[in-house]
Amino acid sequence: MAIRNIVIEGDPILRKHCRPVDKVDDRIRGILEDMLETLHDTGGVGIAAPQVGIMRRMFIAEPEPGEVYYMINPEILEMSGSEEAEEGCLSVPGYAGLVERATYVKIKALDIDGSERILETEGWAARVIQHENDHLDGILYIDKAKDIREIEDEPDAEEGE
């Protein structure tokens, strides 16, 4: 495993649409392992492949420590409700903003073993999944946020995605 560099906002890579993963093989699993290590190194709660320069439709969400979801070729099946909460992003360091998101998300994706899973999530986990899924279509939370504010550089206080 290795820690990868995070692509920072302003790089056109973050604005591109990612292509589906053809096959969940060892190469893909290796990238996901690196992404998880990179996520843990940063203390974030989610990371999408384009944030490490891989233009494939996959991300990891870890809304609570140890609660890791690998999402490969994800497809949101249902969304409902609406609530505002603050988000940050590993690719937009030093900032946070209020974003309106669905409170409930039902999502279908391949897991790291290549099997199809359907996950129903609410609240914070649903928010992290929506944020990461947006990255696969070149969308950043700052496109949707209001009241973007600078946050102090306190490593423990950051909740980047």
Give the binding site for Ni ion (CB under 5 A): 89, 161
**Based on CB atoms, which residue is closest to Ni ion, 26 or 141?**
141
Whole-number minimum distance, CB 113 to Ni ion, in Å?
Answer: 25
Question: CB nearest Ni ion: which residue?
Answer: 89
E strand or H helix that includes residue 33: helix 26-42
Mark whether 132 is an active-site residue: yes
Q: Which of 62, 87, 132, 159 is catalytic?
A: 132
Q: Which is nearer to Ni ion, 89 or 126 (CB)?
A: 89
Q: What is the nearest approach in angstroms of Ni ion to the Cβ of residue 97?
A: 11
Q: Which is nearer to Ni ion, 5 or 115 (CB)?
A: 5
Query: Closest approach of Cβ 91 to Ni ion, in Å?
Result: 5
| Cα(53)–Cα(76) distance, integer angstroms | 23
98, 100, 104, 106: CA torsion to nearest 10: -100
Sequence-ordered list of residues with C-beta below 8 angstroms from that of 22, at least 6 positions apart, any chain:
none
* Calpha distance 63→117 (Å, rounded): 18
Q: Supply the residues annotated as catalytic.
A: 132
